[in-house]
Structure 1
Amino acid sequence: MAHLAAAKLPYRDINLKITSDAYTFTSPSSPDAPSLVIDRPMGDVRLVQGGSNSSKRPTRISSISGILGIIQLPLDKYVIIINKAKPMGRLKGQMVYKVISTEILPMRERQIHDPDEDTFINLLKTFLAQGPMYFSYSIDLTNSIQRQSHADTSRPLWLRTDDRFFFNKHLQSELIKFRTTGSRSQPGPQPAIDPYILPCMFGMFEIKQTKFKSTPLTIVLISRRSRYRGGTRFFTRGVDEDGHVANYNETEQIVILNDSSTGLGGFAGSSDMQSGKFGASAGQEMQILSYVQTRGSVPTFWSEVNDLKYTPKIHVRGTDAALAASAKHFEEQIRIYGDNYLINLVNHKGRESKVKESYEKMAKALVSMPKERREADRLTDEKFTTIQPGSSRQQFDRLHYVYFDYHSETKGMQMHKAYAIVDRLREAVDAQGYFRGVDMPANNDGRVEARSLQTSVMRTNCMDCLDRTNVVQSIFARHMLDRMLQDVGLLAKGSSFKNEDPEFEVLFRNIWADNADVVSTAYSGTGAMKTDVTRTGKRTPMGALQDGRIGITRYCLNNFLDGPRQDAYDLFLGVYQPGEANVGTNLIFGDRRPVLIQAIPYILAFSVFIVLVGIFTRRPPGSSVIPMRLFILFWSSVAAWCFHFVWTHGMLYVNWPRLNPLSYAIDGYTENFTKARKDAVIGSLVARHERGLSTARFINAEEGKKRIE
């Protein structure tokens, strides 16, 4: 019975044996359990009692932390293993690990390298090296503490996960399929494979043991990134047809009292190897307080189209077109969280106003008898706008739209004025509450006994759901943390930890600034802006300078490097599946633009170099000035023309995703290519040397290919 209970949890220790005909995974601490065998070269999965029975001599035997999953690429199938994991701390007595290094193991030993296959593997390697992923052998990181309190702990860990945050689910799909239906040689459900299926969460996990006014406590911050509509800043915006929004994150702030088990001791060789259960101190009940917020893109159909301009054009489709998708999104949000307070921080003037207006139209379309209320002051003609349902007849009447003019309120580095949003929503915040539960000393199944529940959620957004969003989320988190500490008797009513314990205040600020950086890096490629506000409580000139540097870095990344990053997301999450692509012969990642168009940025760089050499090189005495001036003038003209061409045909030089081409990118690319063919200087050369249609750069991504070596 003990073994059956342990088998519900992933194995903490896995040995990998590699032979020429199989990869064999076994758990030394569970000698009676079957081995997982992945046959080579076909990649078939099976369970074998007592080892693989292979007569082949192993080429390698190693200990690994877990199996991240299996992926099919055009030419081969690969198993991805976690070689090294770093212990981050104990949550509810259970160790949480961060994936540090992985390895991609092929089914076939390839003698000849294929450019596309190598690019696919490099995309995966880069993604795995940069993506912050976490897992636990004994606790479900994908669910909030409140959802865990209602979980059926008799089920295997991977079956308890929140599907949105089971980030490696696509990679685990082959093992899950085998578990559900078996194979030809082993038909029917295969529950013995459960301990080999390891769910991972992508995002941020930080746990700190600290003290508040001499009382020990643990503070934890977790941000879980959704595996749906994953991607980069300008290539994933708004909502998709299935109701999933870009850059969706659930952030949970947890406070634990009477917890004696958050340290790193004993993480490797615990005597209780499979259960991993460590409880609170004898006779004490461990109290767990949790507050959840969400962030996500405005759930309408909108996009920002890269064309090398610092502020790309915004395209917003009509509200009616996105109504069904938005309804799907909010149906799920209401089902999971209850009432949703939709806190919109985008600007109400300028380019962002279109997105704000589309959100407000959507809110009015969804709720019954919408009642709109606008407030203004001398700073802004739209300080607060609320759209509330006039009744509670239908499901969507649990949506409450709130607009806050963040930029006008905080103008002149007066960031403290952002706290006004909590004052305006105090009644709603107090009503929503937070989760409070206890883990009794005698409790053996790991469940927390709920004492009070959080009944609604703050869903915050700005344009990117990064910088402004994180500042406002940290303000709500601060307010709720004050309330938690007051309710447990560590803080007097009406006071704040900011004034009571400066060290705890610094810890709180830094943990939320770290969260801003992690979420921002995953989406935009850089850390967050405005983290000086989060870390210090005020806007500083140095912080503004740092934001300028981040803005320039984002511009370069989002225009010239994000195509492969988006492709890596699509590949890892299964949005693009090369194994299912149609047969073709073109290289997927080949640049199909005419060589002349590709060469213009290089000619520009060369021209600038020549001009600088001409300006700063010393001339011999008595030499004529005019030839050098004509030389510099000529190359300056070449540089100016090249710059003008690149700038006016910007969409030809953006690094677009190749695997799932964006419809607006194909249209814009075609339009810019047509303009280039009519250019007075090089138009005729471009037309003569073009290779196929202007959309050929994307066609191969539609058709895919399978080439036999």
Structure 2
Amino acid sequence: MSGLFPFRDINVHASPNQYAFSSPSTPSAPTLVIERPNGDIRLHDGPLLGTQRVSSIAGIMGIIQLKLDKYIIVITKAQPMGRLKGHMVYKVIATEFLPLRERPLHDPDEDTYYNILKAMLKSGPMYFSYSLDITNSFQRQAASDLMAPIWQRADDRFFWNRFIQSDLINFRMGKGSGFRLQGQQSPAVDAYILPVIYGMFRITQTQVKSTPFSLTLITRRSRFRAGTRYFSRGIDEQGNVSNYNETEQVVILNDNTDGLGGFAGGGGLENGRVVRDGHEVQILAYVQTRGSVPVYWAEINNLRYTPTLQVRGIDTALNAAKRHFQQQIEIYGKNYLVNLVNQKGREKQVKEAYEQMVERLISHPEGGIQKDSHTSEKLHILAATDKETIFDNLEYVYFDFHNETKGLRWHRAQLLLDQLQEGLMKGGYFRAVDMPGDLQGQLEVRYRQTAVVRTNCMDCLDRTNVVQTMLGRWVLTRQLMELGILKQGESQDDNAAFRDLYRNLWADNADVVSNSYSGTGALKTDFTRTGERTRAGALQDGRNSITRYIKNNFLDGPRQDGFDVFLGAYRPAAYLGGILTFTDRRPMLLQAIPYLFAASLFMVLMALVTRRLPDATVWPLRFFTMFWLAVALWCWQFIYRNGMLFVNWPKLNTPRFAVEGYQKALGSARSDPVVGSFVTRHERGASTARVSHMEEGKKRIQ
């Protein structure tokens, strides 16, 4: 059975010709050998001569090909986060790249690929377990084959390092290059394949009314269409949506946090059933999802605080939306689609596109609109009258979140909960106990969750976090009542210590999801943490909003490139005609304008703080100040008018709207009465090369 799980301890041996990986605790297992410099993989039985042990690692993250070389990414440091049903879960703290060849010279592109990957791995919250499949919810785990290797059981959506594990997986399945014949499988490799999730994991021991239990929150971020806030929106042709996350709230009663729990048994046996201190180990889990509005839409950075919004016709995205919702229904059952975008202003067209899409998908849409004195549309429901197709398992619920809760009236979010309550009751949650005497951790399922609430706002961050927290709290109260811990009319919020713990748990989750997508912590977390909207929280939201603006316009390009390389959405290639991928090929004058703007502001500041001698004339200093102030104002208006020329776009899979917008902005710059002729004169085709390179570099791997 040990071969089903990854090795917990791996020694790395290195030589000029190969890297060798072996488990000191399992000396009978074959050694995994990766040849240098070609990357061929083989298994070796017995002692391996000619190598020197260089380190011990927690696991192999995967193997990735960059422009000139392949690298083995290994986990060098992992932090224990706690035991879930007896299984320890770890957070990836540090990684290292092992190159297959020694490069005598540094290549600028290779160094950039390397650096953006290192930055992504350093900032990305990643978790793994050697003995528990944390890519799957407990409900899916209960239906999986526990005799299959853990990587084969993994949910492909949340197996974050699946692409860079391809070499090992292909070799294991007899599909890759190496010393095995094609079609000859290598099960011994299973122990070297370690699935990792990207998201959030928190586990804490707590109690309500003297009843102890473990409370866990797991958020799994999909590896499909992953990216940053403004560079990844909507849906793709395969039905994957941006910022898709599954969040599972787990309560475990009578869990033994010592030992291996469900993996290797433990505890006592009473009447043939696994028990802890005379009680069954019970698992109660509730799953929610979030994801971008499943139509083709984008917000186009142009240095304005509010980017330009584009929404394409729903007919273009109909097939993609069908793929998306078919998968969601097959996995989760009925989907309650909670839409929180504004019904007025710029967000209105996103709202209307979503509603039109749902109307096209369900057979006989029927619904109602609830209005009140505050808004023209408070709630909007769309549901099928008869179930004729799989898409009739969709029920659309619109809630005008901003209007209903403005003025710090956050209690009005209860209106949405009241509307969803019947569906929450019908959809239920997952509940199971340990199977009698089962050492593999098989669960005896009492009942399953048959519906999911899929929540979105524009970013699927701030408003979504508030609603998901509210739903999680309601379900937890119901679970504790059905367990007999709470009585009718009681709430876990009656316990101040637990209430604060629960709120902070969900607020931490909000920050993690938001940081991954937008680059900052979430907004409105003061309400999540305290139950109140405060002025201090509003000020913090202001700071986060400014930080988001800076990061989304000037720093997210390399972040998006890092995601695309790591996840296989872009595969680096060797030199193409000597072109360097990451070189800035804008005309030099355009590159210089931001520096000129900064220098002019510095000159104005120096002129204002410089002390003038009593007998000195005034006009030279005033002329100096006015000159540099005029330069600063011109630079500012030029940058503001041609903002798309100064956004830090992704350089690998550059969005088409960015290419088109760049060309348009470049045309505007050429017509500038001050520098237009210089841009045209000194450009020498550079901008065309830049744009064509954006297109030629695309290698999307679906």
**TM-score of the aligned structures, taking structure 1 as reference length:** 0.95
Contact 1:593 1:691 in 2 (8 A): no
Contact 1:338 1:398 in 2 (8 A): yes
- Once the two structures are overlaid, the 10-residue window that deviates more, 612-621 or 119-128, is 612-621
2:651 to 641, 658, 662: 658
Matched, 1:633 2:626: yes
Instruction: Kindly state the Cα deviation for residue 518 of structure 1 after the two structures are TM-superposed.
Output: 0.2
- Match for residue 235 of structure 1? 231
SS at match of 2:165: helix
Matched, 1:516 2:510: yes
CA distance in structure 2 between the partners assigned to 1:626 and 1:277 by the alignment = 88
> For residues 108-507 of structure 1, what are the structure 2 equivalents within 5 Å?
108-181=101-174, 183=177, 185-187=179-181, 188-261=184-257, 281=276, 283-440=278-435, 442-499=437-494, 501-507=495-501
The CA RMSD measured in Å over matched residues stands at 1.6
Contact 1:658 1:698 in 2 (8 A): no
1:667 to 647, 657, 660: 660
Change (3 A) 1:293 1:601: same
Letter in 2 for 1:442: G
- Please give the per-residue CA displacement for 1:555-584, whole angstroms capped at 9, x wherever unaligned: 0000000000000000010000114x7833
CA distance in structure 2 between the partners assigned to 1:220 and 1:441 by the alignment = 24
Instruction: Kindly state the Cα deviation for residue 233 of structure 1 after the two structures are TM-superposed.
Output: 0.1
Letter in 2 for 1:694: S
CA distance in structure 2 between the partners assigned to 1:98 and 1:695 by the alignment = 45
> For residues 540-689 of structure 1, what are the structure 2 equivalents within 5 Å?
540-579=534-573, 583-689=576-682
Letter in 1 for 2:664: E
Contact 1:208 1:219 in 2 (8 A): yes
CA distance in structure 2 between the partners assigned to 1:106 and 1:584 by the alignment = 25
CA distance in structure 2 between the partners assigned to 1:295 and 1:204 by the alignment = 14
Instruction: Kindly state the Cα deviation for residue 440 of structure 1 after the two structures are TM-superposed.
Output: 4.1
CA distance in structure 2 between the partners assigned to 1:236 and 1:174 by the alignment = 28
Matched, 1:539 2:512: no
Contact 1:284 1:441 in 2 (8 A): no
CA distance in structure 1 between the partners assigned to 2:383 and 2:635 by the alignment = 54
Instruction: Kindly state the Cα deviation for residue 497 of structure 1 after the two structures are TM-superposed.
Output: 1.1
CA distance in structure 1 between the partners assigned to 2:506 and 2:381 by the alignment = 27
Instruction: Kindly state the Cα deviation for residue 283 of structure 1 after the two structures are TM-superposed.
Output: 4.2
1:45 to 36, 41, 47: 41
Change (3 A) 1:390 1:584: farther
Contact 1:239 1:245 in 2 (8 A): yes
CA distance in structure 2 between the partners assigned to 1:118 and 1:681 by the alignment = 38
- Once the two structures are overlaid, the 10-residue window that deviates more, 590-599 or 413-422, is 413-422
SS at match of 1:409: helix
- Match for residue 24 of structure 1? 20
Change (3 A) 1:492 1:695: farther
Instruction: Kindly state the Cα deviation for residue 699 of structure 1 after the two structures are TM-superposed.
Output: 3.2
- Identical columns (%): 56
Instruction: Kindly state the Cα deviation for residue 610 of structure 1 after the two structures are TM-superposed.
Output: 0.9
SS at match of 1:526: coil
Instruction: Kindly state the Cα deviation for residue 634 of structure 1 after the two structures are TM-superposed.
Output: 1.2
CA distance in structure 2 between the partners assigned to 1:611 and 1:256 by the alignment = 63
Instruction: Kindly state the Cα deviation for residue 19 of structure 1 after the two structures are TM-superposed.
Output: 1.0
Matched, 1:85 2:78: yes
CA distance in structure 2 between the partners assigned to 1:372 and 1:467 by the alignment = 27
Change (3 A) 1:542 1:15: same
SS at match of 2:163: helix
Contact 2:283 2:431 in 1 (8 A): yes
Instruction: Kindly state the Cα deviation for residue 46 of structure 1 after the two structures are TM-superposed.
Output: 0.7
Contact 1:669 1:695 in 2 (8 A): no
CA distance in structure 1 between the partners assigned to 2:575 and 2:297 by the alignment = 30
Instruction: Kindly state the Cα deviation for residue 92 of structure 1 after the two structures are TM-superposed.
Output: 1.1
CA distance in structure 2 between the partners assigned to 1:277 and 1:670 by the alignment = 64
- Match for residue 694 of structure 1? 687
CA distance in structure 2 between the partners assigned to 1:691 and 1:278 by the alignment = 74
CA distance in structure 2 between the partners assigned to 1:26 and 1:691 by the alignment = 56
Contact 1:6 1:275 in 2 (8 A): no
Instruction: Kindly state the Cα deviation for residue 276 of structure 1 after the two structures are TM-superposed.
Output: 6.0
Instruction: Kindly state the Cα deviation for residue 694 of structure 1 after the two structures are TM-superposed.
Output: 2.3
Contact 1:285 1:440 in 2 (8 A): no
- Alignment length (residue pairs): 688
Letter in 2 for 1:543: G
Instruction: Kindly state the Cα deviation for residue 693 of structure 1 after the two structures are TM-superposed.
Output: 4.8
Change (3 A) 1:591 1:255: same
- Once the two structures are overlaid, the 10-residue window that deviates more, 398-407 or 10-19, is 10-19
Letter in 1 for 2:231: F
Contact 1:340 1:458 in 2 (8 A): yes
CA distance in structure 2 between the partners assigned to 1:72 and 1:493 by the alignment = 59
CA distance in structure 1 between the partners assigned to 2:19 and 2:375 by the alignment = 65
**TM-score of the aligned structures, taking structure 2 as reference length:** 0.96
Contact 2:72 2:97 in 1 (8 A): yes
CA distance in structure 1 between the partners assigned to 2:124 and 2:218 by the alignment = 15
Contact 1:25 1:35 in 2 (8 A): yes
After the TM superposition, which parts of structure 1 deviate over 3 Å for at least 4 consecutive aligned residues? Answer: 274-280, 581-584, 698-705
CA distance in structure 2 between the partners assigned to 1:276 and 1:628 by the alignment = 81
CA distance in structure 2 between the partners assigned to 1:334 and 1:646 by the alignment = 47
SS at match of 1:680: coil
Matched, 1:33 2:36: no
Instruction: Kindly state the Cα deviation for residue 695 of structure 1 after the two structures are TM-superposed.
Output: 4.1
- Match for residue 61 of structure 1? 54
SS at match of 1:232: coil
Contact 1:592 1:691 in 2 (8 A): no
- Match for residue 270 of structure 2? none
Letter in 2 for 1:312: P
CA distance in structure 2 between the partners assigned to 1:50 and 1:199 by the alignment = 27
CA distance in structure 2 between the partners assigned to 1:109 and 1:329 by the alignment = 44
SS at match of 1:385: strand
CA distance in structure 1 between the partners assigned to 2:265 and 2:131 by the alignment = 8
CA distance in structure 2 between the partners assigned to 1:8 and 1:701 by the alignment = 44
CA distance in structure 2 between the partners assigned to 1:277 and 1:227 by the alignment = 33
- Please give the per-residue CA displacement for 1:653-679, whole angstroms capped at 9, x wherever unaligned: 000000101100000001001111111
Instruction: Kindly state the Cα deviation for residue 340 of structure 1 after the two structures are TM-superposed.
Output: 0.2
